[in-house]
Structure 1
């Protein structure tokens, strides 16, 4: 881009930043550190609680969060990008609370390559309009806006390409047993650890403006509600601790690499790489399309990103957005 962009970074709420280590801090000390009155501290704590942030208060001890929080740091995120990707990323946006990171990027129309991360989403979205549970400072909520001049493959295959890149990034971090489940899920073992939501807008001349959203469970509380399938989080699988900022940078770098490769070569370079992580191929599956359910055996994916399903001895192509796929009970 010819225009010079400046990263847009929203600082953490001061009370949260002060209590981020998870320890107790007295009301007077907190007031002095924030440069406000004791009553102002109480009012800020009340607002944070109303927003769903757990803050405990005990007479004689003061305040503390439910546990330590690992807040995102823009410089550390940028520091994990390759020089080429850092140069191509026009703007990094870091916010504390958004409705969804995809929605933030949808508000721009200037063609810049942007990434948006947030500590919390109030209306996170998954595939088919499902809600994406997005508690504060527990996971990664990341979206990238990217413009394809002339797509060399169906735009629907972008989610698969990014899924491959993310599986490889987690594998490089030492996460064992990483897999992909068509069309947009990341797994560890047989449990979901993340998902990808790609939205596209047609542009003049046959191009497409993509917004690729990634949700990754990092330290999701086990008490989280609203999840209707087996899931896991990265903290149980990383061989050594990794800050959320480093993880965010590695994931952003992987997404940018996937989009750059997809822009130049389409989906073909990702096809064999998908096969190496495919958790559905060879499995008995149920295809759920509205009120209809059919059973078959998954036979991998096609070059157009379709899932190949064998039903009653005949192979059929299933496309993202038409049918949901769940592994059939063994």
Structure 2
């Protein structure tokens, strides 16, 4: 899709975002498109996760209104400095990839963020795809420099997850939990995930690209391919909410957590993590490639590693190709 086609598509979405019918004639005049071109763009909306109704004599409308992200509204909820240190994109391949390009092309300050309305190539950990329909969820990538090398990123996903969990809990959401190392749960269903990608040197200057996906108002049909139980903020709050305000809340919480982590490390977050830990004192199974390791989860250490009690000893396991599952067998 060319940049011009993408711009036209975004304008079409903005026209339809009110959830009302708009005639083909009206759309054609506003966008300078033929009826055939309009039909082609409507088909592209479906690929972005938008459900469009077409009724003869009335025109086109979305199945429900969209609450689009708006730079001015975001700025009203962020500090002046915070609002200036971000960019809002409508459609990207991956927000992490966009941020990597921006950082390479120009110097950015810590906490610089890319926020997108949709991703066409969103990804999670271990190469999994991340469902990214337009105008419903949050796709956020944040830049954080690591002056002392990649080792400085130890436990970073724990810090980010804790910041998001606390934000949810402070808003009155019940049953918020954290699943090591990078998932936020509500009622044992996933609501947010974190993907951290590192670039640079092991012991010299490096960069953390922190990708965060949060289910805000996930369409049921868009979640058909999600292989695990999920929930969104709309369900968790029990009603409508201000999407711009919540995006600003999460950006602010993550930036503040990163500043604390930079100065004090993971120690200030360990107690909070233990409060939210979904597997505290439970029998679990760690999958490390083809190997399964069983034990009892007993929290995290000062580097954010998972602590397992096995055969009477406490062993630490770091993030990487590791996933955590409930397990009936217990090794003590």
1:77 is the counterpart of 2:74: yes
The answer to whether the 8 Å contact 1:111/1:146 transfers is: no
- Go from structure 1 to structure 2 and tell me whether the alpha carbon gap of 1:151 and 1:265 turns closer, same or farther (over 3 Å shift): farther
Q: TM-score, with normalisation over the residues of structure 1?
A: 0.88
Q: Distance in 2 between matches of 1:199 and 1:89?
A: 24
1:255 is the counterpart of 2:249: no
Partner of 2:3: none
Deviates more, 1:148-157 or 1:185-194: 148-157
* Equivalent residue in structure 2 for 1:93, among 78, 81, 87: 87
Aligned-residue offset at 1:90: 5.3
- Go from structure 1 to structure 2 and tell me whether the alpha carbon gap of 1:51 and 1:219 turns closer, same or farther (over 3 Å shift): closer
- Go from structure 1 to structure 2 and tell me whether the alpha carbon gap of 1:51 and 1:249 turns closer, same or farther (over 3 Å shift): closer
Aligned CA-pair RMSD = 2.5
Q: Distance in 1 between matches of 2:85 and 2:168?
A: 24
The answer to whether the 8 Å contact 1:179/1:188 transfers is: yes
Deviations 1:127-158 (A, max 9, x none): 12211111111210001112133479741211
Q: Distance in 1 between matches of 2:259 and 2:252?
A: 11
- Go from structure 1 to structure 2 and tell me whether the alpha carbon gap of 1:89 and 1:64 turns closer, same or farther (over 3 Å shift): closer
Deviates more, 1:237-246 or 1:99-108: 237-246
SS of the equivalent of 1:13 reads helix
Q: Name the count of aligned residue pairs.
A: 318
The answer to whether the 8 Å contact 2:215/2:233 transfers is: yes
Partner of 1:184: 182
1:323 is the counterpart of 2:322: yes
- Unaligned 5+ segments in structure 2 are 1-6
Partner of 1:173: 171
Aligned pairs for 1:110-125 (under 5 A) are: 110-113=106-109, 114-125=112-123
Deviations 1:29-67 (A, max 9, x none): 333444555454334324434555432211122101122
The answer to whether the 8 Å contact 1:152/1:265 transfers is: no
Deviates more, 1:101-110 or 1:27-36: 27-36
* Equivalent residue in structure 1 for 2:212, among 211, 214, 220: 214
- Go from structure 1 to structure 2 and tell me whether the alpha carbon gap of 1:182 and 1:49 turns closer, same or farther (over 3 Å shift): closer
Q: Distance in 2 between matches of 1:241 and 1:279?
A: 27
Q: Distance in 1 between matches of 2:227 and 2:204?
A: 38
Partner of 2:20: 23
The answer to whether the 8 Å contact 1:152/1:263 transfers is: no
Aligned-residue offset at 1:221: 1.6
Deviates more, 1:201-210 or 1:51-60: 201-210
The answer to whether the 8 Å contact 1:281/1:300 transfers is: yes
Partner of 1:106: 100
Q: TM-score, with normalisation over the residues of structure 2?
A: 0.87
